[in-house]
């Protein structure tokens, strides 16, 4: 079968591979759509930490089951699924606590192991989440939405609270759409005017603010009737933005870092104490989040249609990947297999 492999930073190559064979407990799946993620773009540019080449990318997958043994979930050949790409050790302490998303020996399919830029792969049966009512394109977006959703879940945001989401790339958009579906007041901060108009006009976010405006804090206070947001979620991974969250959260508030910074951040401890803030990291997502997000996409409370701005055929990846991911109007690119 024809597989697209990232040979070295900047170079994809088509290689010929054997079709995989299934081990007990695994399903053979056909890849139908692949979402292109920031991780893939970083790996392509050689900027992804702890990353080995060559590597077959692809972890945001809309797939169809080809072969599977009888199983507890009742999954059958022909079923359409989203793949939870977090390969965990079920016996690890974190997994036993229900935190398979941050297992000690976690490997992400398509990042730490070879992923889905090819016609067929095998995956553990319990990593498949069925949703025959969704399109393959919607199924390929589930994982991204889950990451933002998990961040909001970590904060335990309620419908009576305000959340400020910093960064409105695909992960921020997932957080925005989930927070809106809860009925909470959502404020988005970004420095890109294009992304802010997208949030305002397409996603219908009531408050989309330029985060580098000199009166940003004043605008926040006005929206929050004099206070500050109870929850501040950072989806930028930018040091300045992350450090600033401590000033933007209300007294008694919660801060969630979904974006990852390769380095250290500093904050003023007296400010952290005075406000009795809670700081949380958010990594990947749990199987329950996949189920919740699939239900929200199926019932229309999360609409993925506006997200997809570019599509490319898998055979065109070596030629067109760089150009596609460099487009200024890119929100999400989908690879069609
Ligand atoms: Zn991703």
pLDDT tens digit sequence for 193-223: 999 999 999 999 999 999 999 999 999 999 9
b/e per residue 272-311 (b: at least 16 CB within 10 A): eeebebbbeebbbbbbebbebbbebbeeeebebeebbebe
pLDDT (average), residues 39-54: 91
- Where in the chain are the domains? 2-130+304-336, 148-281
Q: 308 with 137: CB under 8 angstroms?
A: yes
2-130+304-336 and 148-281 agree in CATH topology? no
Contacts of 120 (CB under 8 A, 6+ apart): 1, 19, 20, 28, 29, 30, 31, 66
**269 CA distance to ligand 1 centroid (A)?**
33
Using the predicted structure, report yes or no on whether residue 49 has a pLDDT greater than 80. no
Tell me, what's the pLDDT at 304?
87
Centre of ligand 1 from the C-alpha of residue 61, in Å: 10
Q: What is the mean pLDDT of the chain?
A: 96
One DSSP character per residue, 159-194 reads: TTSEEEEE--SHHHHHHHHHHHHHT-EEEEEES-HH
pLDDT over 90 at 310, yes or no: yes
Rounded to whole angstroms, how far apart are CA atoms 310 and 36? 10
Q: Does domain 2-130+304-336 have CATH number 3.40.50.620?
A: no
Ligand 1 centroid, distance to 224 Cα (angstroms) = 32
Percent of the residues in the chain that have a pLDDT greater than 70, as a whole number: 100
Distance 14 CA to ligand 1 centre (A): 22
Distance (Å) of CA 180 to CA 165, 177, 249: 11, 5, 19
Architecture of domain 148-281: 3-Layer(aba) Sandwich (3.40)
- Please check whether residue 151 is in contact with residue 98, taking contact to mean a CB–CB distance below 8 angstroms: no
Distance (angstroms) between ligand 1 centre and the Cα of 325 equals 14
H/E segment holding residue 290: helix 287-298
Residue 81 has what pLDDT? 98
More confident residue, 262 or 268: 268
């Amino acid at each position: 079968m024809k597989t697209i492999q990232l040979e070295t930073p900047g170079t994809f190559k088509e290689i010929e591979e054997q079709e995989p064979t299934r081990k007990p407990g695994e399903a053979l799946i056909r890849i139908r759509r692949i979402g292109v993620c920031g991780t893939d773009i970083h790996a392509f540019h050689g900027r992804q930490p702890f990353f080995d080449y060559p590597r077959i990318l692809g972890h945001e997958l809309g797939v169809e089951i080809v072969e599977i043994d009888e199983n507890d979930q009742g999954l059958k050949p022909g079923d359409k699924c989203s793949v939870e790409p977090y390969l965990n050790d079920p016996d690890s302490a974190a997994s036993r606590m229900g935190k398979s998303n941050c297992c000690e020996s976690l490997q992400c399919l398509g990042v730490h192991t070879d992923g889905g830029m090819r016609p067929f792969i095998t995956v553990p049966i319990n990593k498949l989440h069925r949703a025959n009512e969704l399109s393959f394109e919607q199924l390929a977006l589930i994982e991204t939405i889950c990451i933002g959703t998990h961040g909001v879940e970590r904060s335990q945001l309620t419908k009576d609270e305000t959340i400020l989401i910093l960064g409105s790339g695909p992960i921020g958009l997932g957080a925005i759409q989930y927070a809106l579906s809860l009925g909470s007041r959502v404020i988005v901060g970004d420095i890109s005017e294009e992304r802010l108009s997208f949030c305002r006009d397409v996603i219908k976010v009531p408050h989309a603010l330029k985060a580098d405006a000199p009166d940003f804090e004043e605008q926040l206070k006005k929206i929050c009737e004099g206070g500050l947001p109870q929850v501040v979620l950072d989806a930028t991974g930018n040091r300045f933005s992350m450090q600033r969250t401590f000033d933007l959260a209300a007294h008694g508030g919660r801060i969630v870092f979904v974006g990852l910074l390769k380095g250290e951040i500093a904050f003023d401890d007296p400010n952290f104490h005075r406000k009795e803030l809670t700081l949380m990291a958010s990594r990947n997502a749990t199987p329950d989040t996949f189920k919740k997000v699939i239900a929200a996409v199926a019932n229309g409370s999360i609409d993925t249609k506006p997200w997809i701005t570019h599509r490319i055929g898998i055979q065109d990846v070596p030629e067109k990947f760089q150009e596609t991911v460099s487009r200024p109007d890119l929100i999400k690119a989908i690879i069609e297999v």
